[in-house]
């Protein structure tokens, strides 16, 4: 029925009838996987939202203690890496082997820069005792006055302010979420970079052409997704109350 | 009718030795790998149940220390839910049957299929490690802050095991969704699909959408235990009830991961043996999807007494009632199918009859629990234990065993003992009721769950329950014997011993590695039991 008369593409797996069936299955699979990922991070976003509503002051104070520049640089770096990724997909679709490889390598480099900066940021948090747990220190340095400043109107329009004790406790929730969210994001980046290495190697070997480039495309989808997660994380974690 | 011959070439003969199994990409062999591993976990979970029932034969706590008892019911629950019931029907029967049912050579992603099995095994190893290292005592629900802060048992290892096994479930679901969308034989449109496939499609949606939420919840508990983070820690302002919300957001739908595929099995068996198309095919198909959707919006019925607002409780109570509707649709449609159909009493069908009774009771008692007033009395009593066992053991496992008996001839190519299989079906039914019916009464009288002692007046019912468990255990052991025996000594089954209409019965038993010699093209309607088809099927 399906073209048994002409030669099969070497990349066609035995249980598919055509290349397009194989490609569509792969891409659909990737989308379903990303749906799973949305719910995975979704659990965190829900948790974040609730606690931010309850402990807005603590979230604002904790967020302000984070240096903004590295986060900003990382945002630019990641958006850049999405561009290079998209260009490599385009190149693979148009049979440009050399360009595919180069754009993939550029993506790997940008991804690594992001992780490098992340390491710097984590180290900074360790130094300042902003890692939740027994050695956590927040209230003493940022003081209750600082928080009183940003006091948010609570139910009934009363100004409430958190005492240092309460800040010391509830900012830990913010930083717990900070580490879980950015940590899982970084883990996704690491996985992505490993996959990119494999794809780059395959591209270098000339495995892809205009008929077969689904792996590059799927890696692209994954990479963009990880990128988008960061686009949400950045304002939620770094920019809670920067407007004044 | 000529006697069937056992085909020389089939998926079992294609490759020998351990390596040919451990590296296989054939969905049928992977199904067998799953069958063996989940059976092992079923056995292990069963051992813990034996411990529980032995302890509860007397009112005093004389067999185990309270802590040991806590570990027994925790491990029983963890193993049965995450390592047996969730994979059971999908990973074994779904894996084996979906490709031939839709005329495909394999699932869309054979390597991911194998990967899912390895992930399952790794998750299992973590859990086994937790057992060997001293067990875990939080209950299968891992409620915080006990799990995150207080318990000194191996919560982290167990949680990690469950987390990892979750990904195996996600990958299975993902594979099924893509397969059902993209791998159907030409001409096999959605409304010609067997209801078994519809049920698995709905299940897969839950697996893909629900499992990641419990996964991330476990990550948060893990971070709390391992690094001292504080997301659910009340001392730092964290909210333990939030954990319950997140947990049940998955774990209520998860109960449908366990039951929906079994409902799919029932549809196949009922239509085959009554020689009729399932009454109201599209209603049954869509009721699976409806259950999947409704299943996601009823989770807080597990939390009526956990401090949620009374308005939330009322909404969730109402929504829980509405889940009963699609379930009832199925039951009514099966009954209508059986009505005036030809009834028969082969082993698969005996399991189905058993299923009807037990699922009905399980579902109706769910309504008692969904009613706010009664739940305050019944929550955390043996009534709840009886309710979910009626559905998960009475419903899901009966469906699973019915399915195993129905498709065993296809999987292995040989028949098992008719006599013993009927005996076992009857033992399971009787043993089950004896074990769990008294628990409804106990719960109603106020016996709480998860204690290893109880007042003297509860003893008679508890002894009945333990006795029933022994019968039930025997009923479960028998199939192991006669099914394994049949692998070598059973009569050759032939392609279609039941005269069923599905595509999977058109190929040889056991099937070839690629399932079909030629991709089937003349696709029949689902459950086409016209006299002509019946006659021809009988001839095969
Ligand atoms: C008509 C549909 C159903 C309704 C209305 C219903 C309702 C309920 C309610 C309200 C509870 C909470 C009782 C309490 O803890 O106080 C409950 C518990 C439970 N149900 Fe159902 N249920 C239904 C179907 C199912 C199905 C199909 C399954 C499994 C396949 C299931 C498994 C469970 C389990 C495992 C628990 C207890 C979990 C635990 O606390 O350990 N239920 N059910
Ligand atoms: Cu529920």
Assess whether pLDDT exceeds 50 at residue A148: no
Q: Determine the 3-state secondary structure of B337 from DSSP.
A: helix
Q: Tell me, yes or no, if A41 comes closer than 8 A to chain B by beta carbon.
A: yes
Closest CA to B183 of B209, B207, B201: B201
**% of chain A at pLDDT higher than 90:** 73
Q: Determine the 3-state secondary structure of B368 from DSSP.
A: helix
Q: Tell me, yes or no, if A40 comes closer than 8 A to chain B by beta carbon.
A: yes
Do B492 and B3 form a contact (C-beta atoms < 8 A)? Answer: yes
Please choose from B287, B391, B443 the residue to mutate so as to test ligand 1's pocket, defined by most ligand atoms within 8 A of CB.
Answer: B391
- Give the pLDDT score at B521: 82
C-alpha B301 to ligand 1 mean position (Å)? 8
For the segment B124-147, what is each residue's pLDDT rounded down to a tens digit? Answer: 999 999 999 999 999 999 999 999
Determine the residue among A24, A30, A39 to mutate to test chain B binding: the one whose Cβ has the most chain B Cβ atoms within 10 Å.
A39
Task: Tell me yes or no: is domain A40-238 CATH 3.20.20.60.
Answer: no
* CB contact set of B196 (below 8 Å; sequence gap of 6+): B93, B94, B97, B98, B101, B261, B264, B265, B267, B268
Contact A132 B230 (CB under 8 A): yes
N-to-C CA span, chain B? 8
- Give the pLDDT score at B342: 75
| Tokens matching residue B202 | 């709905």
Closest residue to A134, CB basis, from B211, B220, B228: B228
Do B356 and B391 form a contact (C-beta atoms < 8 A)? Answer: no
- Give the pLDDT score at A155: 46
How distant is the Cα of A200 from the closest Cα of chain B, in angstroms? Answer: 21
**Residues lower than pLDDT 50 in chain B:** 539-540
Closest CA to B470 of B431, B420, B515, B498: B431
User: B145: cis peptide before it, omega within 30°?
Assistant: yes
Assess whether pLDDT exceeds 50 at residue A146: no
- Which ligand gives the minimal distance to the CA of B392? 1
Q: Tell me, yes or no, if A7 comes closer than 8 A to chain B by beta carbon.
A: no
Closest CA to B390 of B402, B399, B403, B379: B399
- Give the pLDDT score at B4: 86
Please choose from B384, B400, B450 the residue to mutate so as to test ligand 1's pocket, defined by most ligand atoms within 8 A of CB.
Answer: B384
* CB contact set of B355 (below 8 Å; sequence gap of 6+): B262, B266, B394, B395, B398, B399, B402
Which atom of ligand 1 lies at the shortest distance from residue B321's CA? 5
Measured between alpha carbons, how far is B109 from A24 in angstroms, rounded to an integer? Answer: 12
- With beta carbons under 8 A apart, name residues in chain B contacting A39: 209-210, 212-213
Residue nearest to atom 12 of ligand 1 (CA): B302
C-alpha B124 to ligand 1 mean position (Å)? 25
Q: Tell me the domain boundaries of chain B.
A: 18-539
∠ CA B221-B224-B227, rounded to 5°: 135
pLDDT band for A160, please (50, 70, 90 cuts): low
Q: Tell me, yes or no, if A135 comes closer than 8 A to chain B by beta carbon.
A: no
How distant is the Cα of A170 from the closest Cα of chain B, in angstroms? Answer: 6
Closest CA in chain B for residue A43 = B213
Q: Which residues line ligand 1 (CB under 6 A)?
A: B 141, 255, 258-259, 301-302, 320, 323-324, 327, 363, 366-367, 369-370, 375, 378-379, 384, 387-388, 391-392, 396
Mean pLDDT of A106-112: 98
- With beta carbons under 8 A apart, name residues in chain A contacting B246: 43, 46-47
Do B83 and B163 form a contact (C-beta atoms < 8 A)? Answer: no
Q: Is the ipTM of this complex over 0.85?
A: yes
- With beta carbons under 8 A apart, name residues in chain B contacting A29: 108-109, 112, 174-175, 178
Residue nearest to atom 23 of ligand 1 (CA): B366
| Tokens matching residue B49 | 């149940």
Please choose from B287, B302, B304 the residue to mutate so as to test ligand 1's pocket, defined by most ligand atoms within 8 A of CB.
Answer: B302
Do A77 and A92 form a contact (C-beta atoms < 8 A)? Answer: no
Q: Determine the 3-state secondary structure of B414 from DSSP.
A: strand
Q: What is the DSSP string of A109-121?
A: HHHHHHHHHHHHH
Closest CA in chain A for residue B103 = A15
Closest CA in chain B for residue A176 = B229
Mean pLDDT of A163-183: 92
Q: Determine the 3-state secondary structure of B59 from DSSP.
A: coil
Bridge partners of A153?
Answer: A159
| CATH fold group of domain B18-539 | Cytochrome C Oxidase; Chain A (1.20.210)
3-class SS shares of chain A: helix, strand, coil, % to 5: 75, 0, 25
Closest residue to A170, CB basis, from B106, B208, B237: B237
Cα dihedral B140/B144/B146/B149 (nearest 10): 130
| Tokens matching residue B259 | 């039951």
- With beta carbons under 8 A apart, name residues in chain B contacting A172: 229-230, 236
Measured between alpha carbons, how far is B79 from B83 in angstroms, rounded to an integer? Answer: 5
User: Considering the entire predicted model, what is its pTM?
Assistant: 0.93
- Distances B204 to B97, B180, B246, B289, B529 between C-alpha atoms, Å: 15, 10, 19, 10, 29
Interior/surface letters B298-328, b for 16+ CB within 10 angstroms, e for the rest: bbbbbbbeeebeeeebeebbebbeebeebbe
- Give the pLDDT score at B518: 85
- The contacts found for A99-103 with CB under 8 angstroms, 24 or more apart, are A100/A203, A100/A208, A100/A216, A101/A200, A101/A203, A101/A204
For the segment A28-45, what is each residue's pLDDT rounded down to a tens digit? Answer: 999 999 999 999 999 999
Closest residue to B208, CB basis, from A36, A132, A184: A36
| Tokens matching residue A233 | 């994380």
Closest CA to A212 of A4, A1, A8, A3: A8
- With beta carbons under 8 A apart, name residues in chain A contacting B228: 132-134
């Amino acid at each position: 029925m399906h073209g048994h008369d002409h030669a099969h593409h070497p990349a066609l797996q035995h249980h598919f009838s055509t290349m397009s069936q194989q490609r569509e299955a792969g891409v659909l699979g990737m989308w379903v996987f990303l749906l799973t990922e949305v719910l995975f991070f979704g659990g965190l976003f829900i948790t974040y939202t609730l606690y931010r509503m309850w402990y807005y002051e603590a979230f604002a104070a904790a967020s302000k203690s984070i240096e903004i520049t590295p986060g900003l640089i990382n945002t630019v770096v990641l958006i850049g890496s999405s561009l290079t990724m998209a260009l490599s997909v385009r190149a693979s679709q148009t049979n440009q082997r050399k360009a595919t490889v180069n754009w993939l390598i550029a993506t790997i480099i940008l991804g690594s820069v992001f992780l490098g900066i992340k390491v710097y940021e984590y180290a900074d948090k360790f130094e300042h005792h902003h890692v939740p747990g027994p050695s956590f220190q927040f209230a003493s340095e940022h003081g209750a006055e600082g928080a009183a400043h940003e006091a948010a109107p609570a139910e009934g329009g009363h100004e409430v302010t958190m005492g240092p004790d309460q800040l010391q406790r509830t900012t830990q929730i913010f930083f717990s979420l900070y580490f879980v969210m950015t940590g899982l994001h970084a883990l996704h980046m690491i996985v992505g970079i490993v996959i990119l290495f494999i794809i780059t190697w395959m591209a270098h070997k000339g495995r892809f052409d205009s008929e077969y480039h689904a792996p590059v495309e799927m890696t692209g989808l994954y990479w963009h997704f990880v990128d988008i997660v960061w686009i949400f994380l950045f304002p939620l974690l770094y920019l809670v109350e920067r407007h004044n | 009718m000529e006697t069937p011959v056992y085909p020389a070439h089939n998926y079992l003969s294609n490759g020998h030795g351990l390596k040919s199994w451990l590296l296989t990409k054939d969905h049928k062999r992977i199904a067998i790998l799953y069958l063996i591993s989940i059976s092992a976990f079923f056995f292990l979970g069963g051992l813990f149940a034996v411990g529980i029932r032995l302890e509860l034969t007397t009112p005093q706590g004389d067999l185990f220390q309270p802590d040991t008892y806590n570990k027994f019911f925790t491990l029983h629950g963890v193993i049965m839910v995450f390592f047996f019931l969730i994979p059971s029907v999908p990973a074994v029967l779904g894996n084996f049957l979906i490709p031939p049912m839709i005329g495909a050579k394999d699932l869309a992603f054979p390597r991911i299929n194998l990967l899912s099995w390895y992930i399952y095994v790794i998750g299992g190893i973590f859990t086994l490690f937790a057992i060997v290292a001293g067990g875990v005592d939080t209950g299968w629900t891992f409620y915080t802050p006990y799990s995150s802060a207080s318990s000194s048992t191996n919560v982290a290892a167990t949680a990690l095991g469950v987390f990892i096994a979750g990904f195996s479930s996600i990958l299975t679901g993902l594979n099924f969704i893509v397969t059902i969308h993209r791998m159907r034989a030409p001409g096999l449109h959605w409304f010609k699909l067997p209801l078994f496939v519809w049920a698995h499609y709905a299940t897969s949606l839950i697996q893909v959408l629900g499992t990641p939420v419990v996964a991330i919840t476990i990550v948060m508990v893990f971070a709390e235990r391992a690094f001292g983070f504080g997301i659910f820690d009340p001392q730092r302002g964290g909210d333990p009830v939030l954990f319950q919300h997140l947990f049940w957001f998955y774990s209520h739908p998860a109960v449908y991961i366990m039951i929906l595929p079994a409902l799919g099995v029932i549809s196949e068996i009922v239509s085959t043996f009554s020689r009729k198309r399932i009454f109201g095919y599209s209603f049954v198909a869509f009721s699976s999807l409806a259950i999947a959707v409704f299943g996601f919006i009823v989770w807080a019925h597990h939390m009526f007494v956990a401090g949620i607002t009374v308005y939330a409780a009322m909404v969730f109570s109402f929504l829980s009632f509405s889940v009963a509707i699609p379930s009832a649709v199925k039951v009514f449609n099966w009954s209508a199918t059986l009505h005036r159909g030809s009834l028969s009493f082969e082993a698969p069908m005996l399991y189905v009859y058993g299923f009807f009774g037990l699922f009905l009771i399980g579902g109706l008692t769910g309504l008692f629990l969904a009613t706010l007033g009664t739940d305050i009395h019944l929550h955390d009593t043996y009534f709840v234990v009886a309710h979910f066992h009626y559905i998960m053991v009475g419903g899901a496992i009966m469906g699973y065993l019915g399915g195993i008996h129905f498709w065993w001839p296809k999987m292995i190519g040989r028949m098992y003992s008719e006599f013993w299989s009927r005996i076992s079906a009857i033992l399971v039914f009787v043993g089950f009721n004896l074990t769990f019916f008294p628990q409804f009464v106990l719960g109603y009288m106020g016996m709480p769950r998860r204690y290893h002692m109880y007042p003297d007046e509860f003893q008679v019912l508890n002894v009945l329950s333990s006795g029933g468990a022994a019968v039930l255990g025997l009923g479960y052991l028998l199939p192991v014997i006669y099914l394994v025996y049949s692998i070598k000594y059973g009569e050759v089954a032939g392609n279609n011993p039941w005269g069923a209409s599905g595509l999977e019965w058109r190929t040889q038993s056991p099937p070839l590695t690629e399932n079909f010699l030629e991709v089937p093209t003349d696709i029949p309607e689902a459950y086409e039991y016209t006299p002509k088809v019946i006659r021809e099927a009988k001839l095969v």
